Amino acid sequence: FTLQLSLACFAEYVLHLSRLNPDMMYIHQDSGLVSISYYKFDVDDVTGDLDANRPVPFRLTPNIIEYLNTIGICGPLTASMIASARCLVQPKFKVQTILRAILRDEMIASHKKKQDESVSSAPTDMEGELLISMVTRAVTAIMGRLNTLSTFEGADSKVGTLVAAANSHDNLCRMDPSWHPWL
């Protein structure tokens, strides 16, 4: 459970994915395996950029922390998040290229959604330069987060800061009530 939750938290934070609500998480009764039903990129409807402004980086509510306990949080959860980031950064895989292809489709879909909602008579195609700049900004934001999480200097780690922010009661109370720790 801990390792799967850490990978879901890692993906939610690094890839700017939609918030993990309790109705999206399924825990298998026999094995404890976690299944997330759906995620999507959290694209701001106005600017078209990835939405990076949220008080809690990923779902780590008091009830989940109670279940995992401090050893599970400080040990396997944080270590697997750092290891996941390093796996994507260190060998210099073509992560940026893959992200560009995925985010290009996501930005086009977001643009078409805005066009469908608007009252204008003729839908317009997205300009190439605008699409390229939006995708480049999104990939840069994702790679920045990925590089930040992959660095580990002794006991200091960005993951520890993120876990503290996710567990902060002040941050949790600023979230949408549907997100609150009912789980």
Kindly report, residue by residue over 32-73, the tens digit of the pLDDT: 888 888 788 887 777 777 877 787 888 887 888 888 888 998
Neighbours of 153 (CB within 10 A): 6
Report residue 111 as tokens.
């643009």
Report residue 151 as tokens.
């660095």
Question: H or E stretch including 34?
Answer: strand 34-36
- Say what the pLDDT of residue 183 is: 46
Q: Where are the beta strands (DSSP E) in 73-178?
A: none
Task: Supply φ then ψ for residue 33, to 5 degrees.
Answer: -70, 145
Q: What is the pTM of this model?
A: 0.83
Residues 160-178: what's their mean pLDDT?
A: 82
Contact 108, 116 (CB under 8 A): no
- The domain locations on the chain are 2-179
**pLDDT top residue among 160 and 53:** 160
Least confident of 9-23, 51-65, 67-81, 169-183: 169-183
Chain length of the chain: 183
